[in-house]
Structure 1
């Protein structure tokens, strides 16, 4: 087989590979990086909800600038790439919280009991007894607080509060008798009392779980919540938190604008006759993203302990960015003229009903993408904590991204042109929305972090890769001449701008209220409903447009009105300039 490489498209392939290679070890980790800093899911949702609004405004603005000053496209493009990597790598210098020390294992002592136990009220004047946290080894009942002496056999327990005839049952013993105010209890047969001093228990239990303090010390929920708010409030006023927010904003906005302009540049290089080859160029970005995500995740796990050190990820990003900027200098962009119709053709396109419906559901798709991108790994790390897989979590996340890239995205990016050509943009979009619903319900069912690898390897392609190719392809299809970057900016700004903002804000609140499983299941139902609604609306406006065309045969099809009309006549009008040579 003769394998031929188009040398003219080689710089485009190299750019896509190293542009996304710089993002592979960092972009999937942004939210969990914030989680390690101490950011809660709700606050992260608010932060990531603001970001898409910023790049939703920046994309059309930069696209318009690039379209009206096409000679400066390459410079603007390279500056955005440098800003992106510089901001993300600036997170390298943020101080991470110290890794919490692992509490010493709690040692319990067995206290021998007499056949009957006297219960008395604890008096603070008695210095010969100590406070203990105890439970019975023969039951699964909760622990309780008692005061015991250092006698060889325990025949008396002291408690806080008044002793009544129901106190025995509170301590999980049977009532024996009540005589002259003295209450005696009978312990369960073959039961041993296991206790540790309460002062030791306080230190160990507070390090493990705040809720256990509530059991031992009868601390109310309001007190715990007030303590949490005070700790969180002080963190959100620190320089570390705001530096994280600012750097994440700059890097993410620059990435999204550069990605959008990169798509427009790719379509400019391909030209109208080779536009269907966009997916095979973009697939190289998928390869780069998968390689560095896997490599970075593995190196971070090797390089660090329970608290992850992202130094290897930052180094990979810096090297990939340097190569990407070098490849961008080699890009040969076609000469384009600035549009001179003051945006009339652009406004006409945005009034077409099918275009409006498509853009609205691009926002819906962006909402699902946003929630998956920002909260899938958050859910995965919580699952890793429950299953004892935290030591391998960055490797697992790297394998997930690699599976997404090498199996799902690579396949669907390469064949997206053929799928869209056969099904059309509307049907392809409906299929992608339905697959989002299937993907999210499958994520909600996993019981171990490794299970996500199989799901993402299958579902990333028909959701993200196919949906993204459909959106950028449709934007290029309807863009008037001279407005390629502007239309890409508008459509992409609605998809991963407004859509990402909704996904971050609503997703963060859903995650806080319903948990990971509940939020994924609810959004999966919304995705299936969105697929059905899109199919109905897109078909309705398409039939209406076809009926309108039959009534007005001279009207032009959507997209054709933006193309220059060429006559098939043999003899065409010729305009000859009049000068001295014409009369000679």
Structure 2
């Protein structure tokens, strides 16, 4: 393979890299920013259910104008600018006071026994004791401790962590030996680390003559109430409007860049240059793998220096990358070359009359459901159920991106060999393998092999679906069909996945079973799509190619064919008239002479 720099695509590569760097500088931290400004868990869930629907509203509209204009550059610049503005304005949203109020609790640790005591909750002049949660594994946070020994935490290693005169006990077995109103006693036993392949609870004890009495906060007890400040409506309303506009803008940029990348690669390949789509989005993946962890390190350093979480740093970094992205777009001089006089609405009608394209959009919706579920609940599952450290969560993003890089470089070759529809089928099947695998792991580190399957479920799926759109989208509807596919995947699908996943998690009281249900559903859809494509879809796709070829045929060629038909018809009429004027013995001419005469006429 000849190596070299395609100067035409270089500005596009830089645009993809820097825009992805800007997006992943701020997107991973928006949820914790929402919590810090006082938006409750319920409001966060509602927002994330509604938010992806913006993908359905904005991109098809912008894509329609892009198709009609025939040039994405102007629309792209506006969307990048609006993305930076709206996400920066999130820092100006007024804060609201919101917190969980737990009963006043104290813990006494003596020998190998732990005793929890708590006072009743007071609300509306009524006094009642907080109920015990149903958790079998609980955590306890200790502070304001009175102790007869200094290093009690070392006796409980690795289940005790100390930071800033605060001690956290992780994985306590909630197996109380005595229980009464306001107190519970249990052995000082901890669940073992599942990554060590030990299954029996481990009993610890403090040193002799060592006892600890502390104020505590624990999920062993349910909270008394959830206090929300008076600014809830104001905070939620302003944040929702700004976040929705910002999400619409950034979704438009992602989809417009995809459409522009597809068209530019197609034009470059027609000229005999290298323009593989997978090698272009490789730069987005590289930015995703590198930038987000680095921004996290900067945030940790500033937080340690200032004493509180600071969100100005990621916003400033993101705005810088947005500015560089805007400059790079100015250097994209290649004309996108979309036909400006194509009947987009007529093409859309033909798309929705085609059963193969409808099934494709349905399968992209299913993939979007799976994507929305994992985006919403994977980190929750790893952190709360499997007690993963924070840095491990970041490594899952990096792992999936880094593993995909070599596959993306050769993705066009892979998709051409495997087939566009087959890539989508494999993505659904691998979603099934990935999610069923998640449901059975007992150690967070075991998630990494399944994270590597993002090669199929995200990255190759993106290339395969883009190639499918490039081949089967009717003339003049490239960005519009891309918007429909993006809306089905990142819009309705993603929102539905988060909502359905929340219902399953609530119904089964465990995230593992919800993953298993999603996995079985994805695997089933992959098998159904494979059967449909083998029995019927191939014929429909072939017919669609013929229809598209007729739609994209140049007007001069059509006129030329019509003129040729008229000439042939005229010559045939003249020839018929000449034969009628000739004597009948001409009809008895030898076959060779007749053939020569016909050749001359042709």
TM over 0.5, shorter chain: yes
The residue that corresponds to 2:431 in the other structure is 436
Q: Write the mapping of 1:458-477 to structure 2, written as runs, cut at 5 A.
A: 458-477=452-471
Deviations 1:172-198 (A, max 9, x none): 9xxxxxxxxxxxxxxxxxxxxxxx9xx
Provide the C-alpha distance between the structure 2 equivalents of 1:338 and 1:491, rounded to a whole number of angstroms.
Answer: 22
* Alpha carbons of structure 1 residues 397 and 316: separation in structure 2 relative to 1, 3 Å: farther
* Alpha carbons of structure 1 residues 43 and 81: separation in structure 2 relative to 1, 3 Å: same
Query: Is 1:208 aligned with 2:218?
Result: yes
Equivalent residues of 2:472, 2:545 under 8 A apart: no
Query: Is 1:421 aligned with 2:411?
Result: no
Equivalent residues of 1:21, 1:320 under 8 A apart: yes
Provide the C-alpha distance between the structure 1 equivalents of 2:5 and 2:57, rounded to a whole number of angstroms.
Answer: 38
Pick from 394, 398, 403: which aligns with 1:398?
Answer: 394
The residue that corresponds to 2:135 in the other structure is none
The residue that corresponds to 1:251 in the other structure is 246
Equivalent residues of 1:235, 1:241 under 8 A apart: no
* Alpha carbons of structure 1 residues 415 and 44: separation in structure 2 relative to 1, 3 Å: farther
Report the RMSD for the aligned CA atoms in angstroms. 4.0
Pick from 452, 455, 459: which aligns with 2:450?
Answer: 455
Describe the SS at the equivalent of 1:26.
Answer: helix
Equivalent residues of 2:96, 2:231 under 8 A apart: no
The residue that corresponds to 2:502 in the other structure is 508
Deviation (angstroms), 1:528: 1.0
* Alpha carbons of structure 1 residues 293 and 567: separation in structure 2 relative to 1, 3 Å: same
Deviation (angstroms), 1:260: 0.7
The residue that corresponds to 1:60 in the other structure is 60
Query: Is 1:314 aligned with 2:315?
Result: yes
Provide the C-alpha distance between the structure 1 equivalents of 2:315 and 2:526, rounded to a whole number of angstroms.
Answer: 39
Deviation (angstroms), 1:290: 1.3
The residue that corresponds to 1:81 in the other structure is 80
Provide the C-alpha distance between the structure 2 equivalents of 1:209 and 1:476, rounded to a whole number of angstroms.
Answer: 52
Deviation (angstroms), 1:475: 1.3
Q: Write the mapping of 1:187-202 to structure 2, written as runs, cut at 5 A.
A: none
Provide the C-alpha distance between the structure 1 equivalents of 2:98 and 2:301, rounded to a whole number of angstroms.
Answer: 19
Equivalent residues of 2:97, 2:231 under 8 A apart: no
Deviations 1:489-533 (A, max 9, x none): 122212212211211221232234433222222211111111111
Q: Write the mapping of 1:138-537 to structure 2, written as runs, cut at 5 A.
A: 140-144=176-180, 204=215, 207-209=217-219, 211=221, 224=224, 227-228=225-226, 231=227, 237-272=232-267, 274=269, 277-304=276-303, 308-334=309-335, 335-341=337-343, 343-383=345-385, 386=387, 389=389, 393=390, 395-408=391-404, 410-456=405-451, 458-513=452-507, 514-537=509-532
* Alpha carbons of structure 1 residues 28 and 374: separation in structure 2 relative to 1, 3 Å: farther
Provide the C-alpha distance between the structure 1 equivalents of 2:313 and 2:325, rounded to a whole number of angstroms.
Answer: 18
Provide the C-alpha distance between the structure 2 equivalents of 1:66 and 1:212, rounded to a whole number of angstroms.
Answer: 53
Equivalent residues of 1:99, 1:307 under 8 A apart: no
* Alpha carbons of structure 1 residues 396 and 140: separation in structure 2 relative to 1, 3 Å: closer
Deviation (angstroms), 1:15: 0.6
* Alpha carbons of structure 1 residues 140 and 542: separation in structure 2 relative to 1, 3 Å: closer
* Alpha carbons of structure 1 residues 296 and 448: separation in structure 2 relative to 1, 3 Å: farther
Deviation (angstroms), 1:107: 4.5
Describe the SS at the equivalent of 1:304.
Answer: helix
Deviation (angstroms), 1:464: 0.5
Equivalent residues of 1:66, 1:485 under 8 A apart: yes
* Alpha carbons of structure 1 residues 212 and 146: separation in structure 2 relative to 1, 3 Å: closer
Describe the SS at the equivalent of 1:28.
Answer: helix
Higher relative contact order (CA 8 A, sep 6+): 1
The residue that corresponds to 1:51 in the other structure is 51
Describe the SS at the equivalent of 2:340.
Answer: coil
Deviation (angstroms), 1:429: 1.0
Deviations 1:385-436 (A, max 9, x none): x46x3xxx1x33332222121212x233222212221222221111110111
The residue that corresponds to 1:183 in the other structure is none
Provide the C-alpha distance between the structure 2 equivalents of 1:461 and 1:444, rounded to a whole number of angstroms.
Answer: 20
The residue that corresponds to 2:553 in the other structure is 564
Provide the C-alpha distance between the structure 2 equivalents of 1:82 and 1:508, rounded to a whole number of angstroms.
Answer: 34
Deviation (angstroms), 1:66: 1.3
Moved more, 556-565 or 48-57: 556-565
* Alpha carbons of structure 1 residues 482 and 543: separation in structure 2 relative to 1, 3 Å: closer
Equivalent residues of 1:291, 1:402 under 8 A apart: yes
Deviation (angstroms), 1:42: 5.2
Query: Deviation above 6 Å: which 4+ runs of structure 1?
Result: 96-105, 565-568, 571-575
Equivalent residues of 2:366, 2:493 under 8 A apart: yes
Moved more, 346-355 or 429-438: 346-355
Equivalent residues of 2:19, 2:322 under 8 A apart: yes
Provide the C-alpha distance between the structure 2 equivalents of 1:171 and 1:68, rounded to a whole number of angstroms.
Answer: 72
Deviation (angstroms), 1:11: 0.6
* Alpha carbons of structure 1 residues 281 and 307: separation in structure 2 relative to 1, 3 Å: same
Normalised TM-score (structure 1):
0.70
Deviations 1:449-469 (A, max 9, x none): 44444432x111111011111
The residue that corresponds to 2:196 in the other structure is none
- Structure 1 unmatched ranges of 5 or more: 111-138, 148-169, 173-195, 214-223, 550-554, 576-584
Describe the SS at the equivalent of 2:178.
Answer: coil
Equivalent residues of 2:255, 2:482 under 8 A apart: yes
Deviation (angstroms), 1:38: 5.6
Deviation (angstroms), 1:558: 6.1
Deviation (angstroms), 1:268: 2.6
- Structure 2 unmatched ranges of 5 or more: 112-174, 187-210, 565-602
* Alpha carbons of structure 1 residues 522 and 28: separation in structure 2 relative to 1, 3 Å: farther
Provide the C-alpha distance between the structure 1 equivalents of 2:243 and 2:480, rounded to a whole number of angstroms.
Answer: 25
Provide the C-alpha distance between the structure 2 equivalents of 1:320 and 1:99, rounded to a whole number of angstroms.
Answer: 35
